[in-house]
């Protein structure tokens, strides 16, 4: 009897549910084999084997290769060919395949099994010597690069040189003699760099290839990709070994990639590209620009028809849009791979909604599948339609959204400039996986070569970055740092813009406009609203943002930072006069000027949010933030001194100097350093009561005006940075007194609330007491994180936090993703104690975390009533809140099922 394999499974032995073990590609090959699709036979080395490889300090697991060769023997009899033996040699591909798709990040070797003898047999068998030697040189090239780590460029250079010598442009024009000559040069290259020969022993080839694919799991680009996509390093990759089929045997052969729907728009059309007489990675690599799939219908109608039918079958089988790799060998179609296709945000929404319409998905599933990050992308800016554009060229619209920035021509520069706060567009002839950090840092990507499925296009779409690719009109000179087209030259640092929706490449920077919501997104949001229980509010402090937020479905304003209202050029001098006033009278005078302005601000907000709650937070930052910065003042002082102001007392310059010195003294006395835990928030309101009184008065005056006009006002006054109940008690009294004073007999008609931010750990710990004076709690998780961790936010993010995240000391930046373990404890405790004092106390989050999907799920789980985030994140938060609810309701059901099945097992 045959021994059970530990590390290896034939395609027909696996199934789609074994993704963790077989990797996405392996599981799909197994599933397709089961479904009777034309998949070249093969087997998969499991991710267990890869994990074992890393566990044992990079040693192939015991018995692995014995199992591989046993499976290879089975493959030989299935195919009627023999590995490494003439006259019918079996050739295999060795491909990585991780659990989550990581396109192009790891390595692949094709044509393993060719050597000086079998290449002759292949030539004989196919009656095509050129083809056989082309396959062989490809193997040696890939092997040299992947197994021996020799730079791919060195091989490319040799190929280039050969074509030049022979006076041909295309690879396909090289004949057998040419390939033989190239093989000699490749062999010399390998000898020189690897200090050994290319292995003629095909079993050694296979062993080294497997090991190299394992190794490629740990290459730098794969590591970066995993980090960006939150894929654990410990997962490991599977390796698929599959009989080769050849798309490069002649003009009735080819290879291609198709999507079952358009990955940019979601439209239901077969979308993709193919190349005749080409092999493997030619389409994805972007070295030859492929032809649209529609042209296959004319060229190979039967194959095209079969491809359409297979695409439909695969989409229904996997219940999602598929990205399919196929090869045609002498007129026969083979499917090499299928996976859920990467898609743009817009396409993702449309596909979800369309699949519901045809009964493939339920609305719940469509909402669960929506990627919150995609929504972020959907609401990315586009180019304003009336903007004057200097269009340089038009390429392929590979990933929607518009971007504007300085042109850079390599990934390292892109990363460096972006880190210094610049917006850049990465311009390359084509991108390779090595450029991933540049793509990540750039606003968008522009390439002159490659199709819609090229590396640049796939990666940019996945990251939600705008991308224009295959713009062949552009001549890109990386060394010189220039892009030229039609006599115009764009140099490194010049501004360019791209429109990923139309493919336009534009000179200069352009004005971007916020995106509109599509009908599909609206539909998903309507479903999401049906499913979610947590409310979504917006952080907004002007009527325009409030209207935008409302348009995006915000159910109120959860945080209006009133300090933003003080920063406009016409108000700042009044605010400064208020701060610099030496007496209460002086301060009152400035505040008197601010009152009507604040009143108008609140009036605008209440009207925009008619019928919905508006939480107005009284002034929070330390006063020095409104004053000029000390360095500027010092420079001015130096200038005045140099102008002789000191020697000429009584001169205008001298009185200016005196004023300046007074200002400098004040700035110095008010100056606070990070983490800004001094005189701010309610502390300010207590020491300078007239500031908060003015704000409260403006709030109630605006309420009175709005009510008179029939506007339904639901006001909430929010006190920041409370740490002790006495602070809140004092300020609550002030707010109530002001309400009484302004509203008089109308008071009973206004159901206003007074609540507090919970931002100080002490406030969370004493929430039971604080709730005595608070109608609601709004967790200011920015400050709460800062104070719980003892991290000064501004200093931490710029200095050590990214290193902490890189070194996995922290799972994520706690200012982006809520630290549920620490800060979360304080929130849960505060909610519990607060609600014990005041049952049903309304509680929500208004820090940055209110717009982060993972944090939103947590907020839902602990029973918060709402999250509040910036207007553009509101749709995302609505979806995330619905997903949290759906996942929560799925979880108990699953465990009930599990319990029921356990009970059944016990009963048997
Ligand atoms: C917070 O601290 O979370 C908050 C919302 O307030 P701010 O960011 O204005 O300090
Ligand atoms: Mg705060």
Task: Kindly report, residue by residue over 673-684, the tens digit of the pLDDT.
Answer: 777 788 899 999
* Statement: residue 231 has pLDDT above 70: yes
Interacting residues of 269 by C-beta distance below 8 A, sequence separation 6+: 261, 262
Q: Ligand 1: which residue has its CA nearest to atom 4?
A: 780
* Atom nearest to 849 CA in ligand 1: 3
622 against 734, higher pLDDT: 734
State yes or no: is 193 an active-site residue: no
Q: Ligand 1: which residue has its CA nearest to atom 8?
A: 782
Alpha-carbon gap, residue 40 to 56, rounded angstroms:
33
User: Could you tell me the pLDDT band of residue 816, with boundaries at 50, 70 and 90?
Assistant: confident
Same domain membership, residue 308 and residue 179: no
Alpha-carbon gap, residue 410 to 414, rounded angstroms:
6
Q: Is the CB of 759 under 6 A from ligand 1?
A: yes
Residue 378: predicted pLDDT: 75
* Statement: residue 904 has pLDDT above 50: no
895 occurs within a structural domain: no
438 close to 426: Cβ distance less than 8 angstroms: yes
77 occurs within a structural domain: yes
Alpha-carbon gap, residue 462 to 451, rounded angstroms:
16
537 close to 867: Cβ distance less than 8 angstroms: yes
Same domain membership, residue 694 and residue 563: yes
pLDDT in tens, 785-808: 999 999 987 677 667 887 898 788
- Kindly state the percentage of the chain with pLDDT values over 70: 93
- Own/partner contacts of 569-573, CB < 8 Å, gap of 24 or more, are 571/597, 572/626
Domain membership of residue 461 as a residue range = 380-514
DSSP secondary structure letters along 360-424: SS-HHHHHHH--HHHHHHHTS-EE-TT---EEEEE-EEEE-SEEEEEEESSHHHHHHHHHTT--E
DSSP secondary structure letters along 172-194: GG--HHHHHHHHHHHHHHHHHHH
Calculate how far, in angstroms, residue 782's C-alpha sits from the geometric centre of ligand 1.
5
336 against 66, higher pLDDT: 66
- How many beta carbons lie within 10 A of that of residue 384, not counting itself? 14
Residue 398: predicted pLDDT: 79
Structure-block tokens of residue 336: 């090499």
472 against 901, higher pLDDT: 472
DSSP secondary structure letters along 712-767: --EEEEEE-S--SHHHHHHHHHHHHHHHHHHHGGGGGG---EEEEEE-SHHHHHTH
Alpha-carbon gap, residue 82 to 304, rounded angstroms:
32
Q: Ligand 1: which residue has its CA nearest to atom 1?
A: 780
Q: What is the bridge-based pairing of β-strands 467-469 and 396-399?
A: antiparallel
Same domain membership, residue 492 and residue 455: yes
The Cβ-side half-sphere exposure at 411, using a 13 Å CA radius, reads: 14
Alpha-carbon gap, residue 235 to 51, rounded angstroms:
7
* Atom nearest to 720 CA in ligand 1: 6
Calculate how far, in angstroms, residue 723's C-alpha sits from the geometric centre of ligand 1.
15
Once rounded to an integer, what is the mean pLDDT over residues 577-593?
Answer: 91
Catalytic residue among 437, 455, 624, 860: 455
Same domain membership, residue 566 and residue 473: no
Residue 725: predicted pLDDT: 98
Using the Cα atoms of residue 282, residue 284, residue 286 and residue 291 in order, give the sign of their dihedral. positive
Residue 721 is classified by DSSP as S
Q: Is the CB of 620 under 6 A from ligand 1?
A: yes
* Atom nearest to 847 CA in ligand 1: 3
* Statement: residue 646 has pLDDT above 80: no
The residue out of 468, 487, 514 marking a domain boundary is: 514
* Statement: residue 66 has pLDDT above 50: yes
* Statement: residue 373 has pLDDT above 50: yes
User: Could you tell me the pLDDT band of residue 902, with boundaries at 50, 70 and 90?
Assistant: very low
2 occurs within a structural domain: no
**How far from chain centre, in Å, is Cα 417?**
20
* Atom nearest to 781 CA in ligand 1: 3
User: Could you tell me the pLDDT band of residue 660, with boundaries at 50, 70 and 90?
Assistant: confident
Ligand closest to 617 (CA) is 1
Interacting residues of 517 by C-beta distance below 8 A, sequence separation 6+: 378, 379, 525, 551, 552, 875
Calculate how far, in angstroms, residue 550's C-alpha sits from the geometric centre of ligand 2.
23
905 occurs within a structural domain: no
Closest listed residue to residue 29, CA positions, set 333, 325, 341 = 325
Calculate how far, in angstroms, residue 11's C-alpha sits from the geometric centre of ligand 2.
56
* Atom nearest to 561 CA in ligand 1: 9
State yes or no: is 455 an active-site residue: yes
pLDDT in tens, 283-312: 666 567 789 999 999 999 999 999 999 999
Tracing tokens 């001298």 back to the chain, one arrives at 654
User: Could you tell me the pLDDT band of residue 908, with boundaries at 50, 70 and 90?
Assistant: very low
Residue 504: predicted pLDDT: 93
Alpha-carbon gap, residue 454 to 282, rounded angstroms:
10
Same domain membership, residue 193 and residue 112: yes
Least confident segment among 30-44, 99-113, 460-474, 611-625: 460-474
Q: Is the CB of 561 under 6 A from ligand 1?
A: yes
Ligand closest to 788 (CA) is 1
Q: Is the CB of 782 under 6 A from ligand 1?
A: yes
Alpha-carbon gap, residue 456 to 71, rounded angstroms:
37
Ligand closest to 559 (CA) is 1
* Statement: residue 575 has pLDDT above 60: yes
Calculate how far, in angstroms, residue 783's C-alpha sits from the geometric centre of ligand 2.
5
Catalytic residue among 471, 773, 846, 869: 846
Once rounded to an integer, what is the mean pLDDT over residues 48-66?
Answer: 96
367 occurs within a structural domain: no
Once rounded to an integer, what is the mean pLDDT over residues 756-782?
Answer: 98
CA distances from 867 to 834, 850, 858, 864, 871 (A): 18, 5, 11, 8, 12
Q: Is the CB of 760 under 6 A from ligand 1?
A: no
Residue 715: predicted pLDDT: 98
Same domain membership, residue 192 and residue 216: yes
Kindly give the residue spans of alpha helices, DSSP state H, lying in 217-333: 220-228, 282-285, 294-299, 301-318
708 against 627, higher pLDDT: 708
Closest listed residue to residue 614, CA positions, set 716, 703, 535, 747 = 716
72 occurs within a structural domain: yes
* Atom nearest to 759 CA in ligand 1: 2
* Statement: residue 651 has pLDDT above 80: no
Backbone angles phi, psi at 382, to 5 degrees: -120, 175
Mutate to test the pocket of ligand 1, among 720, 760, 793, 827 (most ligand atoms within 8 A of CB): 720
What CATH number does residue 259 fall under?
Answer: 3.30.470.20
What CATH number does residue 726 fall under?
Answer: 3.20.20.60
* Statement: residue 625 has pLDDT above 90: no
Calculate how far, in angstroms, residue 781's C-alpha sits from the geometric centre of ligand 1.
7
Residue 894: predicted pLDDT: 36
496 close to 471: Cβ distance less than 8 angstroms: no
Same domain membership, residue 162 and residue 28: yes
Same domain membership, residue 690 and residue 680: yes
Q: Is the CB of 563 under 6 A from ligand 1?
A: no
Alpha-carbon gap, residue 357 to 352, rounded angstroms:
9
Alpha-carbon gap, residue 744 to 421, rounded angstroms:
52
* Atom nearest to 559 CA in ligand 1: 5
Using the Cα atoms of residue 313, residue 317, residue 319 and residue 321 in order, give the sign of their dihedral. negative
Q: Ligand 1: which residue has its CA nearest to atom 3?
A: 780
578-616 burial by CB neighbour count: b if 16+ within 10 A, else e?
A: bbbeeeeeebeebbeebbebbbbbbbbbbbbbeebbbbb
Calculate how far, in angstroms, residue 838's C-alpha sits from the geometric centre of ligand 1.
24
Mean pLDDT (the chain) is 90
Structure-block tokens of residue 140: 């040696």
Q: Ligand 1: which residue has its CA nearest to atom 9?
A: 561
Closest listed residue to residue 412, CA positions, set 431, 433, 436, 438 = 438
* Atom nearest to 780 CA in ligand 1: 3
pLDDT in tens, 87-97: 999 999 999 99
Alpha-carbon gap, residue 906 to 903, rounded angstroms:
5
Calculate how far, in angstroms, residue 764's C-alpha sits from the geometric centre of ligand 2.
14
Helix (H, G, I), strand (E, B) or coil at 631: helix
CA distances from 488 to 337, 394, 473 (A): 43, 15, 12
Ligand closest to 784 (CA) is 1
The residue out of 638, 670, 702 marking a domain boundary is: 670
Q: Is the CB of 847 under 6 A from ligand 1?
A: yes
Same domain membership, residue 89 and residue 237: yes
Q: Is 647 exposed, middle or buried (0-12, 13-18, 19+ CB in 10 A)?
A: exposed
CA distances from 826 to 770, 830, 834, 858 (A): 14, 6, 12, 13
Residue 433 is classified by DSSP as G
620 close to 563: Cβ distance less than 8 angstroms: yes
Same domain membership, residue 769 and residue 859: yes
Longest CA–CA span in the chain (Å) reads: 110
Domains: count for the chain: 5
End-to-end CA distance of the chain: 31
CA distances from 732 to 685, 721, 755, 771 (A): 11, 14, 8, 12
780 close to 847: Cβ distance less than 8 angstroms: yes
User: Could you tell me the pLDDT band of residue 898, with boundaries at 50, 70 and 90?
Assistant: very low
Once rounded to an integer, what is the mean pLDDT over residues 751-758?
Answer: 97
Hey, which bits of 546-700 come out as E strands?
557-561, 613-617
Calculate how far, in angstroms, residue 216's C-alpha sits from the geometric centre of ligand 2.
45
Residue 665: predicted pLDDT: 85
Alpha-carbon gap, residue 323 to 302, rounded angstroms:
20
Calculate how far, in angstroms, residue 532's C-alpha sits from the geometric centre of ligand 2.
27
Alpha-carbon gap, residue 84 to 112, rounded angstroms:
9
Alpha-carbon gap, residue 135 to 122, rounded angstroms:
9
373 occurs within a structural domain: no
Q: Is residue 782 within a helix (H) or strand (E), and if so which, with residue range? A: helix 781-789
Calculate how far, in angstroms, residue 731's C-alpha sits from the geometric centre of ligand 2.
17
- How many beta carbons lie within 10 A of that of residue 464, not counting itself? 19
Q: Which residues pair with 332 in a beta bridge?
A: 329
Q: Ligand 1: which residue has its CA nearest to atom 10?
A: 783
* Statement: residue 28 has pLDDT above 50: yes
Closest listed residue to residue 558, CA positions, set 533, 541, 574 = 541
Same domain membership, residue 320 and residue 300: yes
Mutate to test the pocket of ligand 1, among 564, 681, 722, 847 (most ligand atoms within 8 A of CB): 847
Alpha-carbon gap, residue 211 to 214, rounded angstroms:
5
886 close to 364: Cβ distance less than 8 angstroms: yes
Residue 611 is classified by DSSP as T
Q: Is the CB of 558 under 6 A from ligand 1?
A: no
323 occurs within a structural domain: yes
Mutate to test the pocket of ligand 1, among 541, 619, 782, 784 (most ligand atoms within 8 A of CB): 782
Structure-block tokens of residue 809: 């000391």
Same domain membership, residue 858 and residue 761: yes
Once rounded to an integer, what is the mean pLDDT over residues 309-318?
Answer: 91
Ligand closest to 562 (CA) is 1
Alpha-carbon gap, residue 164 to 172, rounded angstroms:
14
SS3 annotation, 494-560: CEEEEECCCCEEEECCCCEECCCCCHHHHHHHHHHHHHCCCEEEEECCCHHHHHHHHHCCCCCEEEE
């Amino acid at each position: 009897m045959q021994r059970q394999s530990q590390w290896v499974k034939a395609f027909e032995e696996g199934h789609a549910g074994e993704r963790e073990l077989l990797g996405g590609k392996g599981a799909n090959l197994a599933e397709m084999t089961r479904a009777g699709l034309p998949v070249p036979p093969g087997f998969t080395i499991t991710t267990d084997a890869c994990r074992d490889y890393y566990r044992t300090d990079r040693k192939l697991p015991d018995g692995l290769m014995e199992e591989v060769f046993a499976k290879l023997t089975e493959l030989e009899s299935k195919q009627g060919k023999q590995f490494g033996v003439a006259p019918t040699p079996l050739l295999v591909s060795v491909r990585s395949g991780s659990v989550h798709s990581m396109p192009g990040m790891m390595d692949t070797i094709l044509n393993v099994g060719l050597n000086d003898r079998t290449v002759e047999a292949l030539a004989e068998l196919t009656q095509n010597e050129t083809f056989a030697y082309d396959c062989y040189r490809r193997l040696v090239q890939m092997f040299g690069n992947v197994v021996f780590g020799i730079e791919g460029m060195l091989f490319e250079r040799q190929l280039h040189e050969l074509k030049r010598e022979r006076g041909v442009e295309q690879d396909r024009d090289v004949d057998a003699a040419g390939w033989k000559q190239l093989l000699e040069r490749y062999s010399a290259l390998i000898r020189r760099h690897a200090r050994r020969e290319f292995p003629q022993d095909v079993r050694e080839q296979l062993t080294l290839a497997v090991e190299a694919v394992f190794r490629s799991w740990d290459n730098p680009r794969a590591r970066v990709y995993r980090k960006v996509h939150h894929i654990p390093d410990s997962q490991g990759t599977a390796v698929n070994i599959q009989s080769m089929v050849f798309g490069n045997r002649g003009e009735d052969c080819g290879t291609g990639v198709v999507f079952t729907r358009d990955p940019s728009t979601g439209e239901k059309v077969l979308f993709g590209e193919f190349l005749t007489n080409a092999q493997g990675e030619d389409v994805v690599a972007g070295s030859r620009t492929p032809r649209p799939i529609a042209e296959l219908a004319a060229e190979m109608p039967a194959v095209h028809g079969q491809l359409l039918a297979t695409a439909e079958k695969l989409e229904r089988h996997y219940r999602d849009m598929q990205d399919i790799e196929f090869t045609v060998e002498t007129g026969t179609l083979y499917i090499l791979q299928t996976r859920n296709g990467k898609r743009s945000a817009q396409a993702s929404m449309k596909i979800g909604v369309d699949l519901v319409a045809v009964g493939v998905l339920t609305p719940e599933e469509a909402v669960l599948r929506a990627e919150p990050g995609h929504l972020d992308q959907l609401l990315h800016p586009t180019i304003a339609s009336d903007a004057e554009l200097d269009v340089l060229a038009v390429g392929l619209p590979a990933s929607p959204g518009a971007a504007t920035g300085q042109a850079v021509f390599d990934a390292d520069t892109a990363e460096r400039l972006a880190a210094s706060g610049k917006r850049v567009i990465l311009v390359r002839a084509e991108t390779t996986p090595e450029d991933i950090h540049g793509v990540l840092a750039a606003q968008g990507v522009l390439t002159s070569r490659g199709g819609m499925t090229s590396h640049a296009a796939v990666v940019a779409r996945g990251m939600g970055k705008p991308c224009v690719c295959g713009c062949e009109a552009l001549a890109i000179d990386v060394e010189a740092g220039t892009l030229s087209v039609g006599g115009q030259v764009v140099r490194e640092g010049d501004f360019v813009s791209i429109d990923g929706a139309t493919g336009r490449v534009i000179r200069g920077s352009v004005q971007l406009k916020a995106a509109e919501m599509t009908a599909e997104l609206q539909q998903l949001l309507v479903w999401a609203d049906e499913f979610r229980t947590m409310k979504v509010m917006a952080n907004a402090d002007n009527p325009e943002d409030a209207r935008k937020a409302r348009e995006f479905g915000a159910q109120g304003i959860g945080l209006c930072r009133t300090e933003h209202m003080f920063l406009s050029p016409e108000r700042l001098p009044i605010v400064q006069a208020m701060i610099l006033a030496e007496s209460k009278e002086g301060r009152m005078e400035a505040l008197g000027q601010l009152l009507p302005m604040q009143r108008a601000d609140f009036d605008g907000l209440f009207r925009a949010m008619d019928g919905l709650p508006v939480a107005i937070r009284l002034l929070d930052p330390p006063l020095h933030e409104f004053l000029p910065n000390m360095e500027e003042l010092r420079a001015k002082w130096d200038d005045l001194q140099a102008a002789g102001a000191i020697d000429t007392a009584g001169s205008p310059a001298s009185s200016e100097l005196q004023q300046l010195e007074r200002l400098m003294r004040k700035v110095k006395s008010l100056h606070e350093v990070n983490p800004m835990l001094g005189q701010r928030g309610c502390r300010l309101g207590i020491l300078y009561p007239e500031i908060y009184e003015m704000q409260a008065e403006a709030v109630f005056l605006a309420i009175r005006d709005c009510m008179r006009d029939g506007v339904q006002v639901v006001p909430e006054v929010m006190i920041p940075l409370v740490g002790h109940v006495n602070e809140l008690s004092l300020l609550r009294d002030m707010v109530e007194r002001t309400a009484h004073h302004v509203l008089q007999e109308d008071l009973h008609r206004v159901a206003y609330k007074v609540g507090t931010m919970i931002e100080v750990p002490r406030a969370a710990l004493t929430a039971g007491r604080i709730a005595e004076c608070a109608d609601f709690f709004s967790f200011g998780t920015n400050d709460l994180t800062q104070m719980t961790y003892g991290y000064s936010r501004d200093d931490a993010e710029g200095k050590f936090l990214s290193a902490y995240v890189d070194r996995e000391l922290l799972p994520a930046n706690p200012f982006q993703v809520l630290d549920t373990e620490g800060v979360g404890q304080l929130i849960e405790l505060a909610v519990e104690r607060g609600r014990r004092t005041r049952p049903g106390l309304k509680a929500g989050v208004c820090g940055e975390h209110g717009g982060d999907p993972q944090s939103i799920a947590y907020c839902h789980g602990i029973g918060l009533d709402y999250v509040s985030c910036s207007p553009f994140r509101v749709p995302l938060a609505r979806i995330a809140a619905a997903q949290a609810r759906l996942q929560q309701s799925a979880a108990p059901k699953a465990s009930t099922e599990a319990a029921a099945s356990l009970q059944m097992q016990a009963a048997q």
